[in-house]
Amino acid sequence: MYVARSKDLTANQTNNINCSRQKCHDRNCNFIPNYPKIFFDVNTAEPLQPWLPIEKIEDLLD
């Protein structure tokens, strides 16, 4: 399992995430997609930022 901060998953220009709601045309609406994508490093198989393995959740809490 993987975790990420909600602010890192919102649809906005800073995160370069587009809103997936059909009627929304605001790139900065801060909607959190229902199915956020997780990308992995091809060499290490570790998740890329902002995702972390749940074992490292303490790293998000500081």
Question: Residue 62 pLDDT > 80, yes or no?
Answer: no
CB 39 within 8 A of CB 47: yes
Peptide bond connecting 47 to the previous residue in cis, omega within 30 degrees of 0: no
Q: What is the pLDDT of residue 49?
A: 92
Structure tokens at 62: 């500081």
Mean pLDDT of 44-56: 94
* Residue 54 parent element (H or E): none
Model confidence, pTM:
0.76
* Residue 2 parent element (H or E): strand 2-3
Q: What is the pLDDT of residues 7-47, one digit of tens each?
A: 999 988 888 888 888 888 887 899 988 888 899 999 999 99
Question: Residue 52 pLDDT > 80, yes or no?
Answer: yes
Q: What is the pLDDT of residue 41?
A: 96
